Amino acid sequence: MSASILVARNLSKVVDSAEGELSILADLSLELEKGDSLAIVGASGSGKSTLLGLLAGLDLPTTGEVILAGHALSNLDEDQRAQVRAEHVGFVFQSFQLLDSLNALENVMLPLELEGHGDARQQAQRLLQRVGLGTRLSHYPRQLSGGEQQRVAVARAFAANPDILFADEPTGNLDSQTGAHITELLFELNREHGTTLVLVTHDERLARRCRRQLHLEGGRQLDDGQAS
């Protein structure tokens, strides 16, 4: 069996509130292999986005540990965690988070250029063609539909060939047909690149496509099993 790409052990997250300490997550554990796919599902306020942030090293747990691509994140400072993300992680967000001042090609080129890839333009062109936007390279986000913007975001996320992709409601701002196209694209690229997918979603169709689902309720893990 291949080495695990992501391990979480006994995670909890507690924050201070006006009423005292508030437990957002409690005693959560999971383990993913390279190429796995996991949907994190649950009602609003169940802790889904908090868990995603902990798994990606954007925040640190109150107790427990996350090991991402062999790195124990709690042992690293903020800059070191950012470097781990740059080397191993891609992100897709509900709100796309494209840079308005850059066109589609430049948005996808940016992470490649930051990593010093000499063929950033050629790689970005190939990815945009792969997601069906080969004729929209010079268009700015404001000139693209929501589905097209999300396809740019997916191409950008896969640009550095990440080991793991975190997606927070990637179809949340899209109509059902466009969302289905984005879902298909994510899993096609998952198969082609061997990228592990970790998705926060309310979309039942998207969740069912994942090999595993983790259900959260009140910050607690109800189950983590294989999809039927």
Cα(64)–Cα(199) distance, integer angstroms: 21
Query: Which residues, given as ranges, of the chain have pLDDT below 50?
Result: 1, 227-228
- In sequence order, what are the residues at sequence separation of 6 or more whose Cβ sits closer than 8 angstroms to the Cβ of residue 81? 57, 73
Q: What is the pLDDT of residues 153-195, one digit of tens each?
A: 999 998 888 999 999 988 888 888 888 888 888 898 888 888 9
Cα(83)–Cα(129) distance, integer angstroms: 28
Q: What is the pLDDT of residues 99-113, one digit of tens each?
A: 999 999 999 999 888
**Looking at residue 2, what DSSP letter applies?**
P
Number of Cα atoms under 13 Å in the Cβ half of residue 54: 27
Cα(106)–Cα(95) distance, integer angstroms: 18
Cα(124)–Cα(214) distance, integer angstroms: 33
Which domains are present in the chain?
34-53+88-226 (3.40.50.300)
Per-residue pLDDT at 224: 55
Closest Cα partner for 225 from 166, 29, 214?
Answer: 214
Backbone φ and ψ for 22, nearest 5 degrees, come out as: -120, 120
